[in-house]
Structure formats: C-alpha cells, structure tokens
Structure 1
Amino acid sequence: MSANPDRSVRTALIHGARAVFSWRHKHDDAMRRWISAVAVRRGNKRAIVAMANKLARIVFRILHNHQPFDLNKAFA
C-alpha cells in the first residue's frame, strides 16, 4: 500500500512551518512578526498549524496565478 500523498504534503507543510517557527527570533521580517503575533494570541502549536495553512495558500496562489511571491504583501 502506498502512502497518502495528501498526508505527505500536510506533513511536509507542518515540518516547514515548525522550521520557520523555530527560527522566528533570528530574523525580522513580516512572516516572522506575523507568526510570533499568532503564537502570543493562540499558542505555539496553533501558530505552527496556522503557518502551515498560510504556506499552503501561498504555494497554491503562486502555482495557480504564476505570480512572483511578495513576502510583505502575503503577511500584511
């Protein structure tokens, strides 16, 4: 039996969000400020899931519209 591709994508997004979350204090940009604010309001685990959701939406938008990514616009 093969692995579920949806589950693999979700797992990869969560791992990526965890990586961004763990390095959020090392950089000062819109994405790190956004995830830090979410963590203060909702807690670390929910902030990581919110970041994974945001990353999925960004990837979809880039692939669907063929537009370049603007960090400040995405996390305004």
Structure 2
Amino acid sequence: PAGIGFNALNGEYVNMIEAGIVDPTKVTRTALQNAASIAAMILTTETLVAEKPEKEMAGMAGMGGMGGMGGMGGGMPPM
C-alpha cells in the first residue's frame, strides 16, 4: 500500500508519514543527480587517460620550422 515502508530503526513496516519518516524532494533529487554524475564520470574515465607518445623513427626527417604567414604583420593592433 502507498505510504507504507520499512523503519530500519525498529525493524517494522509502518506508515512512513505517521512515523515522521519523510525524504524531502530536494534531498532525493540531489542524491539522484549526484549518483548520475558519478556514474557518468566512472563510465567516461577512459577519456582521461592519455596515450604514451610514440618515439620518432630515426629514418624520418622532421618538417623543420614552419614560418609564419608572410606579409601579415606581427601582433595585435594597439588598443
């Protein structure tokens, strides 16, 4: 029946409202939001792990220093 629940303090099933056992909606909602946030973090933990950089092969030459865009001037204009 509606309103009946288990009172863990005395081990009996009681009318929760009459016994004064009431969860405020905000507390329940916050607990669910926190649980969902933690579950999402646990499921996406893989994205926090970075791969070990590969060593460059000795035979491959680097591309060298790439110059800037010629004729574009340098820096930001004064404010």
| TM-score normalized by the length of structure 2 | 0.29
Determine which structure has the larger strand proportion and give its number: 2
Rg larger in 1 or in 2? Answer: 2
